[in-house]
Amino acid sequence: MANQDDFFKKVVAHAKEYGFIFPSSEIYDGLAAVYDYGQLGVELKNNIKQAWWKAMVQMHENIVGLDSAIFMHPRIWKASGHVDAFNDPLIDNKDSKKRYRADVLIEDHIAKIEEKVEKEVEKGRKRWGESFDEAQFRATNPRVLEHQKKIDEIHGRYADCMNRNDLEGLKQLILDLEIVCPISGTRNWTDVRQFNLMFATKMGSVIDDSDTLYLRPETAQGIFVNFLNVQKSGRMKIPFGIAQIGKAFRNEIVARQFIFRMREFEQMEMQFFVRPGTELEWFKRWKEERLQWHLGFGIPADCYRYHDHEKLAHYANAATDIEFRFPFGFKELEGIHSRTDFDLSRHSEFSGKKLQYFDPELNESYTPYVIETSIGVDRTVLAIFSHALKDETLEDGSVRTVLSLPAKLAPYKAAVLPLVKKDGLPEKAREVQHLLMPDMMVQYDEKDAIGRRYRRQDAIGTPFCITVDNDTLNDNAVTVRHRDTMQQERIAIDNLPAYLHERIKPIKNQ
Ligand code: GAP
């Protein structure tokens, strides 16, 4: 692909063209940062959710599931800190009337300087060829050092303002960096102010402040407030976890990058309750286990990296992100946080109910500490989909677009294709389709030449194409074509279900 931008455009276009992801309310010109999953997207998404559920709930005897309501008592969000502190710093341009996140304007400015550094490095690489020593170049080249000094200065001021919640300082930094509005081109900025990201709505018929509800901005709080219900009814012994998959809502101001940052999205979260003092050991274990889960999809390890947080939220004593190399660079895919006893203590305080655990081994009660693993379903779809999408040049010079999804995640596992639409082949193909349907998602396709049908299945990630030809009527066997290698083998129809099952293997580590 020409470059990252073009490739990302191709990802978005391919997702739409083949029925994976559509802009929401498209016939009404769409709704910003909200997307619908089409007929294939919903399958991919469900398969990802199943893979996570299996790895977290089915494969751990001490983790159980939950499906808590989206609507919750408003005091929950006061206790969790979301009412007071779930904010983004916003700034408006008075000429264009456009609103921006002040932190993003500054980060984008830093990114532009980083691009300049990369250009210098590229120039150096071209100039010195094989003997180019990148580390030495970065450490000594005067232009790189000058840019780096600027980046460090901006970072320093920016981090200081964010830590001290210094909104005036943020505005001053934007002015000093001479950042202009991309629409109006002017520096006519308002003051920076905090904007809460929760969507509010009303419950019942009486409209007053007391019945303001929030659409949950994370699924985690539903787990904390059910801690005792699950622990007691399931007779759970610490350490144990509660896992949940569900929608979350955030009024994101900078909503871009397709399904990477959405206003309505889905999370897969697990809260693991442990004995105080053991949390850092569990944090380490979950950090490793979650990375292994990602690697199970077969995507190369260098597409993932940890980003350990230096600045921790006030309730956390360790935190890391698993970042993925998205088409627009490395960005957060999953967060793993050691949240101490903050959430349970706060809910105890705000609800007046003691959320503690009696530990029979220690013969004492305590508020458990919590390790959280929190991953976005949509970001996982984007990571896996974008990594799988490729244009491949074949031996004859033609190009095919192929979506090399792990077979377990592919929307359709197999397509059944009669070679021609006559001679009893469609009827035989229907038989094969019905043989497989109870076990897996199968598509039937008889339109167009076989080559075009193969390409269509390649483009939607179907790992196996099963062709029924004239010989099938005599030998009761079919040709199975493999998506990635395009190799074909003859398989007896009687053996076909077992043959496919063996190849649609569970994902490693999952
Ligand atoms: N309970 C912790 C929590 O919600 P977070 O880092 O704010 O932590 C966790 O979110 C994960 O949810 C992120 O790593 C990301 O995958 C996903 N996520 C967060 N905001 C999102 C958004 N606006 N659109 C899509 N996914 C999002």
What average pLDDT does range 130-156 have in this prediction?
A: 93
What average pLDDT does range 157-169 have in this prediction?
A: 89
Residue 246 Cβ < 6 Å to ligand 1: no
The CATH number of whichever domain residue 343 belongs to comes to: 3.30.930.10
Same domain, 236 and 332: yes
Counted residue by residue, the chain has a size of 510
Residue 255 predicted with pLDDT over 80:
no
Question: Which of 360, 390, 420 finishes a domain?
Answer: 390
Out of 127-136, 220-229, 382-391, which region has the weakest mean confidence (pLDDT)? Answer: 127-136
Tell me the C-alpha distance between 190 and 193, whole Å: 9
Cα–Cα nearest to 23, from 285, 263, 221: 263
Same domain, 378 and 433: no
Cα–Cα nearest to 271, from 198, 344, 348: 344
Same domain, 359 and 258: yes
Please report which confidence band the pLDDT of residue 205 belongs to, taking 50, 70 and 90 as the band edges: low
CA 240 to chain centre: 25
Identify the helix (H) or strand (E) that includes residue 323: strand 318-326
Are 484 and 402 a contacting pair, CB within 8 Å? yes
Residue 209 predicted with pLDDT over 70:
no
The reply to whether 80 falls in a domain is no
pLDDT in tens, 429-450: 999 999 999 999 999 999 999 9
Mean pLDDT of the chain: 94
- Those residues whose C-beta lies under 8 Å from the C-beta of residue 96, and which sit 6 or more positions away, are 181, 183, 184, 186
pLDDT in tens, 19-52: 999 999 999 999 999 999 999 999 999 999 999 9
Look at residue 20 and give its three-state secondary structure. Answer: coil
Same domain, 105 and 242: no
How far apart are the CA of 245 and the centre of ligand 1, in A? 12
How far apart are the CA of 356 and the centre of ligand 1, in A? 28
Report the nearest-CA residue for atom 6 of ligand 1: 335
Tell me the C-alpha distance between 498 and 488, whole Å: 17
Are 238 and 358 a contacting pair, CB within 8 Å? no
Same domain, 189 and 206: no
Report the nearest-CA residue for atom 14 of ligand 1: 334
Whole-number percent of the chain with pLDDT over 70: 98
pLDDT in tens, 58-88: 999 999 999 999 999 999 999 999 999 899 8
The reply to whether 508 falls in a domain is no
Phi (first) and psi of residue 453, to 5 degrees: -65, -40
DSSP strand E in 142-253: where?
Answer: 193-196, 200-202, 212-214, 240-249
Identify the helix (H) or strand (E) that includes residue 22: strand 21-23
Residue 108 Cβ < 6 Å to ligand 1: no
pLDDT in tens, 465-505: 999 999 999 999 999 999 999 999 999 999 999 999 999 97
Amino acid occupying residue 493:
I
Residue 3 predicted with pLDDT over 80:
no
Q: Cβ atoms within 10 A of the Cβ of 493, count?
A: 19
Domain hosting 424: range is 394-503
The reply to whether 79 falls in a domain is no
Question: Which of 333, 366, 390 finishes a domain?
Answer: 390
Cα–Cα nearest to 461, from 384, 506, 407: 407
pLDDT in tens, 282-305: 999 999 999 999 999 999 999 999
Q: So what's the pLDDT on residue 5?
A: 83
Residue 506 predicted with pLDDT over 80:
no
* Residue from 332, 337, 343, 377 to probe ligand 1 pocket by mutation (most atoms less than 8 Å from CB): 332
Q: Round to the nearest angstrom and report the end-to-end CA distance of the chain.
A: 32
pLDDT in tens, 348-400: 999 999 999 999 999 999 999 999 999 999 999 999 999 999 999 999 999 99
Residue 1 predicted with pLDDT over 60:
no
